[in-house]
Amino acid sequence: MNNQILQLYAFLQASCGNWRNAIWIECKSCLYENQQCDEYLLTADRNGTPLVFSVAQFRQLTGDMPVKDECIAVLSEHAFEVLYSSWLLWNTDWKNGCRLRQLAQGKGSTL
């Protein structure tokens, strides 16, 4: 099965089938040069592992249009990295740029 579909399934399962139960992560000033920023939806699986999904990709796959103000909370990209700093250290590659982008593309060690 397509990896994007598996990631979407895991994300929806963790957010009880509704993107409104996720946290909207906004990236206003990219910490990584030469990367096009996106906005993301964040939830966590039953073990507390972050599940990140690109808003643009979510719209493309589902046809649904998540709205920032309808999400459970809004978090900056910097706040996300501070909150998950220890987990990100062990599960993403800082040399490959944006950690949110890595997670959304399924490049974290648990996705």
Is residue 106 very low, low, confident or very high in pLDDT (cuts 50, 70, 90)? confident
Q: Say how many C-beta atoms besides its own lie within 10 A of residue 29's C-beta.
A: 8
The string of pLDDT tens digits covering residues 67-91 is 999 999 999 988 998 999 999 999 8
Residues 47-51: what's their mean pLDDT?
Answer: 93
Is residue 12 very low, low, confident or very high in pLDDT (cuts 50, 70, 90)? very high
CA–CA dist 99, 85 (Å, integer): 10
Asked whether residue 34 is assigned to any structural domain, the reply reads yes
Q: Is the pLDDT of residue 95 over 50?
A: yes
DSSP symbols for 7-74 = HHHHHHHHTTT-GGGSEEEE-SS-SSTT-----EEEEE-TT--EEEEEHHHHHHHH-----GGGSSEE
Q: Is the pLDDT of residue 110 over 60?
A: no
Asked whether residue 46 is assigned to any structural domain, the reply reads yes
Asked whether residue 110 is assigned to any structural domain, the reply reads no
Asked whether residue 52 is assigned to any structural domain, the reply reads yes
Q: Which domain holds residue 76?
A: 3-104
What global pTM score does this model have?
Answer: 0.86
**Domains of the chain: total:** 1
Percent of the chain whose pLDDT exceeds 70: 87
Specify the pLDDT at position 32. Answer: 67
Asked whether residue 109 is assigned to any structural domain, the reply reads no
Q: What are phi and psi of 75, to 5 degrees?
A: -135, 140
